[in-house]
Structure 1
């Protein structure tokens, strides 16, 4: 077949979910992929990253309990960690994902997809063969992002790692330098220091600068306790690798960092440079702008043509997280079916076809030591949005459930209260295993639960979730 109802370029979690919703709705779909079906998350990001981090987190948790600590007679086994990571990355083979596509009735076309005109996609296979596909209703771009490598002289020639090389590494280098203190840099510093590397984290803008300051301070302290050399404000000016293989990173302050490998973790760039955007009047290499139902907009701010082109996931820059991309994908697949079949389009805020949570309630977990869980606004982002909020904080270590969870439990949680609406618009927690607190906060913010009603959501005792009661009490309820 060369004609389908919907063509999706990109077979990561976002593209897979778009195609699945389309097929469930009774339409036909083809998905185009140049690499592995399953995308960045399955092989080079979420899954292998969490696998690299989990063993060390479990060991730390056991060592915080005296009875369990007494049973530990050895140290972390890096080879076993890497082997488990390999299993969760499926050995970097996509047979299982391809089998799923076939099972649910989604056609897979291997090769590099490019727009060739309205509802038309050309696919170039590795062999050079080209096939032209036509969509009856829509084309969806779900090609995600790649690591952004800054233009530091010598960095590319030094064989710098990105997240791909880091999470697929077969050993921990003796010395690892990481450029960038964001999520990837902080998580990889946590992982490789536990695996035995001597890690230097060059964090020009600080460690996790986009979270609440108290949360980043906990992570910074833990990294330093783990032996990570954190250089706040460090800015590389040049990088070189000598004949012996040592990487030399010159810093603006005159210092030099030496390492066996250097990892670049300075942000993401959209995979849109070679998508044929110029063939439909758009600018290659840019983030795509979309409307409330994720139709791509042209330079005038109108849906392209008759609204046949959509962009879901990282490429539209609404929320660069896999779970948010999949959320968008479900909305996109359903709205395409609705428009194709003449059904009603629910495009009001919080409607079925409008991923409103991307703008108001995005949950995220940073799997450092300790974890950071957050959803909605921080104090800084609320101020930028013009909201009048008050922050209420509470010491997690003072909660009975947390004290039972681990000896010496240290952490903190906060809520942001919109005084005009008397509701929560932001939540952040830092501490061991705080990820399990996050969904309750996401529900409270998404549902806009009034504080006087939230007061009646009684947390079980003794659990870490009791912090909700303490936060509300501190807020004056």
Structure 2
């Protein structure tokens, strides 16, 4: 397992060497942390390189702080929807408490706890910017400006995530826009907030800051919100945002920005509509690969590109098959839980290859990230929530499958009647008619995220409809929607 490979001379030590490891991981977000933990547990000496905070984007500027902002208004809305409870739910959110809770969820933007955890599982941490300089070789520029050379016997894994990208528009620099980072970490509520982008980040942050008291205008370039989802998901989320007081404008493209006074408001010129004036503007319009400073050119790859991987997460086009990539940087499924899934797959594959064991990389094999293509779950934490897994109807048809969509009013099941008065929601399953298995499911409604894992199991497990018929949902719960969908399918 620890033999030095014959295809590189990178193991000749010099004064800058810090030693030779089995696995070198660059990037200590959740994918990198999980991969490092698992390779270390498999007996492969692993070092983790991080230039910023251990825990990455998810811990400090994405999943954790954003959900801390979104949970209080969701809890308040749920109480207001239930007769007998709404009397206790009058008033507004305690903004200072919400922001303090958000800060705690982000650990005060300190990574001491994550660093302690790494030490507890035996993974060594090196602080600094890591870059490839040749086969299995990483040079780290430390915060002090010195360089340390790390050499991998088995594998180097790139887990450096993605970065928010801003469009090139006139006036962008003077406008000083928020990215997703500022949107989840801001310490004060702006009086007026413009949100540009109708995807997940855009709708969630519009919901969060509106609940905290900002007057929010959401500008989406396309005809609907959540364009990659089933159409009804975007429609119901837009209705929910509008009910909360968000001004939702679709078909609205920003052509220029102005902030004439450095301390004054931003003016957004909007094609085909009135200008928008806001105190802050959030652009949630896309991400780019975090690969610009990794030395990819040293191994024949293009800096700044997404990394193309096989099913075991090895980067294609690198001689020797020693380079892996996990998480957002692969552009496979840019979600924390999928990055951690990929880390489990990659770590198992690295360990198998290091030990000379067979690699099971067929569909749904132990060393294949099949779920990235077939069973990716995602929840949008707005009110109503939107939850989906697998393919939409449009995606399934584009893939050449013979499918049928089955819809049902989520508000008509008994559990919904208890959940909230006037509950609004919708559910859809997409059935492969040739195999009679689910290839996709979408639920929109309050609490819909809690319905998702059952659908994920059905899609990933390719459970036959005939067998699902025997999975009896408890009454009266929201899960009764499964019975209603299957009854509708069977006719």
* Category of TM-score, reference length = shorter chain: over 0.9
Structure-1 residue corresponding to 2:123 = 106
Q: Match for 2:193 among 156, 172, 176?
A: 176
> Matches of 1:5 and 1:344 in 2, distance apart?
19
Match 1:227 to one of 224, 232, 245: 245
Distance 1:207 1:2 in 2: 51
C-alpha distance in structure 1 between counterparts of 2:307 and 2:399, whole Å = 22
Could you tell me how far 1:385 is from its partner in structure 2? Answer: 1.1
270-279 or 253-262, which deviates more: 253-262
Residue 122 of structure 1, aligned match among 139, 150, 154: 139
Q: Distance in 1 between matches of 2:122 and 2:66?
A: 30
Partner Cα separation in structure 1 for residue 466 and residue 96 of structure 2:
52
> Given the alignment, which residue of 56, 65, 69 partners 2:73?
56
User: C-alpha separation between the residues in 1 aligned to 2:362 and 2:163?
Assistant: 32
For residues 439 and 68 of structure 2, the distance between their equivalents in structure 1, rounded to whole angstroms, comes to 31
Residues 23 and 154 of structure 2 are in contact (CA less than 8 Å); yes or no, is this contact kept in structure 1? Answer: yes
1:210 and 2:224 equivalent? no
Displacement of 1:254 in angstroms is 5.4
Tell me whether 1:271 sits opposite 2:290 in the alignment: yes
Q: Give the match's secondary structure for 2:175.
A: coil
Instruction: Indicate the SS of the match to 2:49.
Output: strand
Range that drifts further, 364-373 or 120-129: 120-129
| Residue 329 (1) aligns with residue 346 (2) | no
| Residues 1:363 and 2:373 aligned together | no
Q: Deviations over 1:18-49 (max 9, x none)?
A: 00110110010000101100000000000100
Q: Provide the secondary structure at the position in 2 that maps to 1:201.
A: strand
Q: Indicate the residue corresponding to 1:387 in structure 2.
A: 401
User: Is 1:23 matched up with 2:37?
Assistant: no
Q: Which whole-Å CA distance do the structure 2 matches of 1:389 and 1:174 have between them?
A: 47
Give the counterpart of 1:285 among 296, 299, 304.
304
- 5+ unaligned residues in a row in structure 2: which ranges? 1-17
Distance 2:151 2:173 in 1: 39
> Shift of the alpha carbon at 1:73?
4.2
Partner SS, residue 67 of structure 1: coil
| Alpha-carbon offset, residue 242 of structure 1 | 1.9
Structure 1 alignment gaps of length 5 or more = 299-303
2:251 is the alignment partner of 1:251: no
Instruction: Measure the CA separation in 2 of the matches of 1:441 and 1:207.
Output: 23
- In 2, distance between residues paired with 1:347 and 1:148? 34
Deviation at 1:422, TM superposition (A): 0.8
State the secondary structure of the residue aligned to 1:220. Answer: helix
- CA distances 1:219-265 after superposition (whole Å, capped 9, x unpaired): 11111111111111111111111214210111122521100000010
Q: How far 1:156 sits from its partner (Å)?
A: 3.0
The match for 2:14 is none
- CA deviation after TM superposition for structure 1 residue 67, in Å: 1.3
Structure-2 change in CA distance of 1:402 and 1:16 (3 Å): same
- SS of the equivalent of 1:328 reads helix
Partners of 2:377 and 2:331 in 1: how far apart?
15
Task: Indicate the SS of the match to 1:279.
Answer: helix
- CA deviations 1:187-221 (Å, max 9, x no partner) are 00010110000001010013111111111111111
Q: Would you identify which runs of 4 or more consecutive aligned residues in structure 1 move more than 3 Å?
A: none
Contact persistence 2:308–2:316 (CA under 8 A): yes
Partner of 2:13: none
Cross-structure match for 2:440 = 426
Q: Pick which of 67-76 and 462-471 moved more.
A: 67-76
Q: What is the rounded CA distance, in whole Å, between the counterparts of 1:311 and 1:75 in structure 2?
A: 45
1:340 positional shift: 0.8
Relative to the length of structure 2, the TM-score reads 0.95
Q: For 2:61 and 2:110, how far apart are their aligned partners in 1? A: 12
Measure, in 1, the Cα distance between the counterparts of 2:90 and 2:339: 43
Alpha-carbon separation, structure 2, partners of 1:36 and 1:465: 40
Q: How many positions carry a matched residue from both structures?
A: 472
In structure 2, the residue matched to 1:446 is: 460
Q: Are 1:198 and 2:215 an aligned pair?
A: yes
Partner of 2:89, secondary structure, is coil
RMSD: 0.9
